[in-house]
Amino acid sequence: MRTNSFIKKLVVLGTVGSLLAPSCIYPKLQAAERFEIHFDGMSIPISIKELIDWSNGEEETNSELASWLNLLGFKERKGLAKFLSTPLVKDKSMARQILRSWSGRKLLDEVSDLILMDEDSSGERVLDTFENLLNEKDEVTTFDLLNSLSVKTIHIDLDGWIEVANNWRSELNKQQKLMSNLASINEKLVKRNKRNILPFEIKENEYEMISLVVSHRNEPLNLEVWNPSFRQKNRSNWVLLMTGLGGDRNHFNWLARSLSHNGWPVVVMDHPGSDSLALEALVKGRLPLPGAEVITDRLNDLESVLKAKKSGKVDISAENVVFMGHSLGALTAILASGVKIDDQLENRCQKVLDNLSLTNLSSLLQCQLIDITLTERKNIENLSAIVGMNSFGSFLWKKNLENQINIPLFLTGGTFDLVTPAMSEQLGLLLAVSSSPLSRVLLIEGASHFSPIRVEGQMYQSEGKDVFNLGESIVGYHPLSVQSLLAFEITSFLEKVEEKKSIPSNTNLTKGELKFHILDRAKIEKLLIIQ
């Protein structure tokens, strides 16, 4: 048993090399002398001078150093030389802003517990030194960093890295097992081909732009108001649609158009400060990465639109509202419903951050709420349902019935989502938040966190033009097919909500080449139990 544990530690040594340099930085006074890698009560010393000399072809007779480097995965001098000369940062402006953000600082703090300079784990010193180096050079390599360290010894806690690796492996295994369990449920395969209207084929129902002046912002809110034509069925609900972090209104025109075509009035809103302009400012190094601090303004945006609807500034005939959002927009919708964050959030976050368990990237945004005071929200009487695409928030609430809301929840996610993983977020979130028997989760195989986003150029090719190019490696299976399925199933859910009925819960459904699952509370609980 001990032998297997030792072998695992040696395997992880190969990954430590890529993590050493960016986490062990200090103002340039003198070069650091050595690395010390600690595990199982042992300490492996590696001289940094000998490390650099060896990569340059010097000290060829140092067989002891060569043996340690073999364990680290550097069997050839050429490989080590390439590692030392590779730029760690290609865009120093964006890197600086990310490190200044709450998420970047939190990651630095946690990494500093595993990689210490002498005996100091101060994340602040690491950050300051990194910024100094970025100011001096356009590109910072591992060699530059090693020559800038002003400590005698860099200590690496290999046991801690082993724990991180094991946690990562465990989370990935859970996700894979979920898919296996879904496939094994013996239910009749159902094809959902009726009313198969692709959203991009719908041309009617254009929107009206409204500029809404609000007291909490310096600039007006821009709203798209999609009102159905007189020929379409009158609905009792209207939809308020919110984008995710870095999202824009035009990313969801496909969905607004489809819903409007089917009779629902839709208002799509921008959120200044956390939209694509904010993301562009990050890329250009002008502003830090937006985080959970933007939620307060987003909640105020939502309330401003509700007041504008009530006063007639937004002309919509339907009385009841459905909150709908993608990612951070979905979390905003859930928080606006009045559900309260419980007092165990800090304890849950301490565990995940201590383990650097970043298979769920949304945990960073959720845990930032520890440091943010949100105004208590009253329940909204005319809130009919909440639809969340790639939503998150499972860390914020216990999985019990104390703080749940009896509002139908329709959460959608994909098996290729590495930002808000389906099992921990969509499935876990429904159990934690909604007690309504009408609530459902739509899980699409091959879809990712970015599948619902329609970007320019996506109609005719897998990549679209945006602040970043979202290729197939990011958006997963063909996004237009996923968007078509989303439009169809969201429409079906909203129709049933107005009838106060539930959509059927089934696994192993197909629509075209897509395979998907619609899960109620009972099926979700069963899946999580057998995990």
481-517 pLDDT, tens digit each = 999 999 999 999 999 999 999 999 998 899 888 999 9
Helices H, strands E: what count in the chain?
19, 17
pLDDT at residue 405, rounded to an integer: 85
**For the whole model, what pTM was predicted?**
0.74
Q: Would you say residue 286 lies in a domain? A: yes
Q: Do 160 and 213 belong together in one domain?
A: no
Q: Would you say residue 193 lies in a domain? A: yes
pLDDT at residue 17, rounded to an integer: 38
Q: Do 125 and 198 belong together in one domain?
A: no
pLDDT at residue 106, rounded to an integer: 65
Q: Do 121 and 233 belong together in one domain?
A: no
Enumerate the β-bridge partners of residue 154. 35, 117
The answer to whether 370 and 349 have CB atoms below 8 angstroms apart is yes
Q: Do 220 and 132 belong together in one domain?
A: no
Q: Do 269 and 122 belong together in one domain?
A: no
Q: Would you say residue 401 lies in a domain? A: yes
Q: Do 93 and 229 belong together in one domain?
A: no
Q: Do 152 and 206 belong together in one domain?
A: no
The answer to whether 440 and 410 have CB atoms below 8 angstroms apart is yes
Helix (H) or strand (E) holding 516: strand 514-519
- How many whole angstroms separate alpha carbon 494 and alpha carbon 111? 45
pLDDT at residue 26, rounded to an integer: 32
Q: Would you say residue 174 lies in a domain? A: no
3-state DSSP assignment of residue 328: helix
Question: Which residue, 345, 365, 363, is CA-closest to 355?
Answer: 363
For residue range 23-35, list pLDDT tens digits in order. Answer: 333 333 345 677 7
Q: Would you say residue 180 lies in a domain? A: no
Q: Do 362 and 499 belong together in one domain?
A: yes
Longest dimension (CA), the chain: 86
3-state DSSP assignment of residue 441: strand
- How many whole angstroms separate alpha carbon 341 and alpha carbon 402? 11
Q: Which domain does 32 fall in, by range?
A: 2-164
Domain end, chosen from 109, 130, 164, is at 164
pLDDT at residue 304, rounded to an integer: 95
User: In Å, how far from its chain's centre is CA 59?
Assistant: 46
Query: To 10 degrees, the CA torsion angle through 387, 391, 393, 394?
Result: 100
pLDDT at residue 6, rounded to an integer: 38
The per-residue pLDDT string of the chain (531 residues; one tens digit each, 9 = 90 and over) reads: 444 443 344 334 333 333 333 333 333 334 567 777 776 677 777 777 776 676 666 655 555 666 665 655 555 555 556 655 666 555 555 565 556 565 566 666 666 666 677 766 655 665 666 667 777 777 766 666 666 666 677 777 767 766 666 766 676 677 777 777 777 765 554 545 444 444 444 555 588 999 999 999 988 999 999 999 766 678 999 999 999 888 888 889 999 999 999 999 999 998 887 777 666 665 556 666 677 888 999 999 999 999 999 999 999 989 999 999 999 999 999 999 988 888 888 888 877 666 555 556 788 888 888 888 888 777 788 999 999 999 999 888 876 656 688 899 999 999 888 788 888 899 989 998 988 999 999 999 989 888 998 876 554 444 444 444 455 555 667 888 999 999 999 999 999 999 999 999 998 899 888 999 999 999 998 887 755
Which two structure tokens, joined as six digits, stand for 69? 């480097």
Residues in Cβ contact with 292 at an 8 Å cutoff, skipping those fewer than 6 apart: 102, 365, 366, 368, 369, 372
* Tally of structural domains, the chain: 2
Q: Do 58 and 192 belong together in one domain?
A: no
Q: Do 344 and 224 belong together in one domain?
A: yes
Using the Cα atoms of residue 200, residue 201, residue 204 and residue 205 in order, give the sign of their dihedral.
Answer: negative
Q: Do 92 and 194 belong together in one domain?
A: no
3-state DSSP assignment of residue 216: coil
Q: Do 45 and 121 belong together in one domain?
A: yes
3-state DSSP assignment of residue 238: strand
Q: Which amino acid is located at 210 in the chain?
A: I
pLDDT at residue 343, rounded to an integer: 82
Domain end, chosen from 117, 132, 164, is at 164
Residues in Cβ contact with 279 at an 8 Å cutoff, skipping those fewer than 6 apart: 245, 246, 290, 467
Looking up residue 465, the CATH number of its domain turns out to be 3.40.50.1820
pLDDT at residue 147, rounded to an integer: 64
Q: Would you say residue 169 lies in a domain? A: no
pLDDT at residue 454, rounded to an integer: 86
- How many whole angstroms separate alpha carbon 468 and alpha carbon 279? 9
Q: Would you say residue 303 lies in a domain? A: yes
Q: Which stretches within 149-219 are classed as H helix?
A: 158-184
Q: Which stretches within 269-381 are classed as H helix?
A: 276-283, 295-311, 328-336, 345-354, 362-368
Q: Would you say residue 173 lies in a domain? A: no
Domain end, chosen from 164, 199, 228, is at 164
